């Protein structure tokens, strides 16, 4: 089976695209984008050009020499280290890493306005900050939420009690400092909560009307799984045109697939949903003080197959202590690590196929637009008027 390992799009098409919904504003859009880059102290290392084709607007991308030095082959995992950005501590450094990664993207990040771009950067920063603080109790058979903020109904899911803050409820469910304990639910649901928390925090300032609707939505019915993805996220990249294996923007939600058919049948081990934190790190919901590198995540998933066991009833489970032992042994052996990465760093196979693919997904997920007049978030129970589309 063939695995595409190269950049999915022509590099002159990537970066940040500013495409105003009003064609008459196309000229002003370039001035606004260049002014934003100047405020961000990036004008000297970026190139701004008008967009070709039917869509009026402009595009900003990194100068080729800068990209080749700091993001070779669109590899963003070493960007912070290359530039000396302390994005794990400094908010401004994290936002700078986010912006630089977007400017260096092989595919377009389209926005209708500079304020929408600024909201997107802040949402990503808030998602990263929340993901770092999030810790869960591992339990594939039970789910719980903080009493006094949440209630459960089989048809509506976990909803926020009327009068209780959605933001505070999400914090208490995911961050032990806010609640005093760990709660059990899946890493997939945790990625939903962290994403909604980042969105809700931004909406308080950027779009208070949508913030109120979001609060009412979670008091009425939880938005989960496929509906969550359709409501709040855009997927970019595809199996036909996969993103480069080392291209990640801080705040991306992504999936590492378990390419082993036997161990992937164990509940909770089909793969791993995480966020890219920047600085070459991915969050760890179970041991948040031990975030993963791309290497350690690949090695961990590789060894799930070697720790597959069966209990007294014949039900499969993964021996986590065995996984940790094998991971330590592999990471201590450069040759063994290289052999694992040669297998695992391939783009994953299509769903249902377990052949020669690795654990790297072809796509990432980003939050939809949120500002008034442009937001394309339509809540299931409190839909907003559709914005004017960007061609």
Q: So what's the pLDDT on residue 2?
A: 33
- Say whether pLDDT at 7 is over 80: no
Do 319 and 233 lie in a common domain? Answer: no
Last residue within a domain, chosen from 64, 84, 104 = 104
Say yes or no: 72 and 150 in one domain: no
In a domain, 391, yes or no: no
Is residue 226 in a domain?
yes
Under the banding of pLDDT at 50, 70 and 90, the label for residue 15 is: very high
Q: Which pLDDT belongs to residue 358?
A: 94
- Same domain flag for 122 and 96: no
Same domain membership, residue 230 and residue 136: yes
Q: Looking at 69, 104, 139, which one is the last position of a domain?
A: 104
Shared domain check, 263 and 357: yes
Give Cα separations from 255 to 65, 97, 163, 184, 283 (angstroms): 31, 21, 34, 20, 12
Is the domain of 122 the same as that of 208?
Answer: yes
Q: pLDDT by residue (tens digit) across 85-96? A: 999 999 999 999
Interval 43-61: pLDDT, tens: 999 999 988 766 688 999 9
Q: Domain range for residue 266?
A: 242-362
How many domains does one find in the chain? 3
Q: Which of 348, 339, 303 is nearest to 322 (CA)?
A: 303
At residue 12, the pLDDT reads 53
Same domain for 231 and 248?
no
pLDDT of residue 346 exceeding 80, the answer is yes
User: Is 137 found in the same domain as 75?
Assistant: no
Domain identity same for 279 and 298 = yes
| Contact indicator for 290, 274 with CB cutoff of 8 Å | no
Domain assignment present for residue 375? The answer is: yes
**Domain endpoint, select from 50, 81, 104:** 104
Residues 133 and 28 in one domain: no
The single-letter DSSP state of residue 383 is P
**For 347, which DSSP code?**
B
Tell me the whole-structure pTM to 2 decimals: 0.93
Whether residue 227 lies inside any domain: the answer is: yes
- Domain presence at residue 301: yes
In this predicted structure, what is the pLDDT of residue 141? 67
Residues 28 and 93 placed together within one structural domain of the fold: yes
Statement: residue 387 has pLDDT above 50: yes
Helix locations, 166-288, DSSP H:
166-174, 176-179, 187-206, 208-220, 225-232
Closest CA to 345 of 275, 286, 296, 306: 296
pLDDT tier, 150 (very low <50, low <70, confident <90, very high otherwise): very high
For residues 183 and 123, membership in a common domain is answered with yes
């Amino acid at each position: 089976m063939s695995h595409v390992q190269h950049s999915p799009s022509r590099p002159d098409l990537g970066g940040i695209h500013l495409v105003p919904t009003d064609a008459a504003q196309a000229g002003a859009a370039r001035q606004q984008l260049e002014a934003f880059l100047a405020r961000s102290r990036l004008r000297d290392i970026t190139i701004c050009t008008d967009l070709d084709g039917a869509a009026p607007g402009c595009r900003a991308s990194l100068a080729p020499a800068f990209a080749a030095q700091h993001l070779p082959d669109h590899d963003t995992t070493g960007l912070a280290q290359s530039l000396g950005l302390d994005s794990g501590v400094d908010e401004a450094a994290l936002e700078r890493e986010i912006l630089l990664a977007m400017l260096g993207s092989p595919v377009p990040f389209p926005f209708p306005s500079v304020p929408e771009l600024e909201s997107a950067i802040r949402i990503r920063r808030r998602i990263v900050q929340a993901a770092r603080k999030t810790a869960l109790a591992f339990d594939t058979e039970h789910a719980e939420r903080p009493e006094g903020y949440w209630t459960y109904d089989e048809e509506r899911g976990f909803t926020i009690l009327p009068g209780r803050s959605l933001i505070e409820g999400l914090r208490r469910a995911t961050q032990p400092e806010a609640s005093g304990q760990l709660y059990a639910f899946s890493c997939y649901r945790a990625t939903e909560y962290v994403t909604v928390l980042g969105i809700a925090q931004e909406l308080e300032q950027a779009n208070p009307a949508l913030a109120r609707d979001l609060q009412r939505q979670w008091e009425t019915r939880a938005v989960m799984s496929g509906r969550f993805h359709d409501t709040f996220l855009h997927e970019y990249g595809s199996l036909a045109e996969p993103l480069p294996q080392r291209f990640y923007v801080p705040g991306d939600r992504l999936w590492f697939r378990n390419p082993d058919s036997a161990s992937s049948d164990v509940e909770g081990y089909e793969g791993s949903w995480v966020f890219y934190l920047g600085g070459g790190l991915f969050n760890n919901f179970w041991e948040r003080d031990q975030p993963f590198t791309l290497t350690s995540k690949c090695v961990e998933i590789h060894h799930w197959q070697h720790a597959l066991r069966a209990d007294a009833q014949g039900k499969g489970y993964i021996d986590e202590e065995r996984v940790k032992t094998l991971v330590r042994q592999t990471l201590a052996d450069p040759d063994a690590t290289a052999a694992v990465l040669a297998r695992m760093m391939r783009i994953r196979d299509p769903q249902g196929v377990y052949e020669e693919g690795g654990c790297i997904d072809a796509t990432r997920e980003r939050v939809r637009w949120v500002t008034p007049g442009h937001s394309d978030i339509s809540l299931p129970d409190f839909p907003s008027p559709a914005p004017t589309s960007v061609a």
